[in-house]
Homo-oligomer: A and B are copies of this chain.
Amino acid sequence: MTNQEENILLGHGNGGRLMQRLISGLFMAHFDNEILREQSDASILNICGEEIAFTTDSFVVDPLFFPGGNIGKLAVCGTVNDLSVSGAEPLYLSVSFIIEEGFPIATLEKIVVSMAEEARRAGVLIVTGDTKVVNRGKCDKLFINTSGIGKIRKDRNGVVRYNDIMPGDKIILNGPVGDHGMAVMSARESFSFRSGVESDCASLNGLISNVLDSHSPVKIMRDPTRGGLATALNELASRIPFGIRLEENAIPVCNGVRALCELLGFDPLYIANEGKVILVTGEEESRQITETMKQHEQGRQACVIGEIVNDHPGRVVLQTMTGSTRILETLTSDQLPRIC
């Protein structure tokens, strides 16, 4: 490792290249086992013949409340979605709080209420928990970890199948990108102007099970959270012998998000989402799946945004509106720390 990397940088937590290096150089190297090596959003465990999905996420978003949600809602949606995109039906969550001494109990209750509401909405039970309190100044208000257990569907539709991916397959997205990151950004004190942008924070298990129930085979799903759409697709591209071509024209971005991004110099393709899912399917099924998604509240703007191509294997290329092409690299430095 280089000198620069002797200490942990914010970039080590952004879902991009530094984090990948930390994961493979440190965590994978020491914890190594076959299940971990899959590096999916959730691990698939075989317990007495039953396939169980298992995942964990810590949430450190700042501020705790933002347009469209708060850290509690986010913590439930995030883990529900990690299970869902692994082809599992989310069932049970654990919740662990690290709270700064002096934190108002009334605020904690607001957050807990919204976790309970979101769990009900998603149809999951919060079954176990933990609470730690640290002295004033030793953490920033509140951090929440949720871990989750789900049951892999009997038909295994939606479980990651890298080997089945082939040129011509379509990339489907369920709606506009960048909303969550920009909503959190605009909620920070230094950007007190009202952008009207709301987080897309939502549990996607209903939408996803509608698609999987339709019997159209889905080869892989990903939720483009930290690092945004471009980073999630780069991670996917790095695991297949093909390239990914995106049509900039086809990728939905809300006006508010586009305006904020232009103002601040951000690229919406790298901004975190918390209610989005990418699906890879055969060309034939893609129309049917997009139609099914449009019937669901979380999929109204579902569309094909690109495809798997033979060219530039392992890379993601954007066909821009002006007709040129641009390689979308994996995120390196952090555009927006503490977004989830």
Quick one: which of A69-118 are within 8 Å of B by CB?
A: 91-92, 94-106, 108-109, 112-113, 115-116
Residue A33 is within 8 A (CB to CB) of chain B in the complex: yes
Question: Once the chains are docked, how many angstroms separate the CA of A106 from the CA of B26?
Answer: 10
A54 partner, pick from B1, B128, B131, B337, beta carbons under 8 A: B128
Residue A194 is within 8 A (CB to CB) of chain B in the complex: no
Residue A22 is within 8 A (CB to CB) of chain B in the complex: yes
Residue A254 is within 8 A (CB to CB) of chain B in the complex: no
Residue A35 is within 8 A (CB to CB) of chain B in the complex: yes
Residue A151 is within 8 A (CB to CB) of chain B in the complex: yes
A23 in contact with B131 (CB, 8 Å): yes
Question: Once the chains are docked, how many angstroms separate the CA of A149 from the CA of B59?
Answer: 21
Mark A45-69 against chain B: 1 for CB-CB distance below 8 A, else 0. 1011010101111111010000000
CB contact under 8 A between A57 and B96, given known A91-B47, A126-B31, A149-B149 = yes
Question: Once the chains are docked, how many angstroms separate the CA of A134 from the CA of B62?
Answer: 10
B139 in contact with A143 (CB, 8 Å): yes
Residue A13 is within 8 A (CB to CB) of chain B in the complex: yes
Quick one: which of A1-60 are within 8 Å of B by CB?
A: 1, 5-14, 19, 22-23, 26-27, 30-31, 33, 35-36, 42-43, 45, 47-48, 50, 52, 54-60
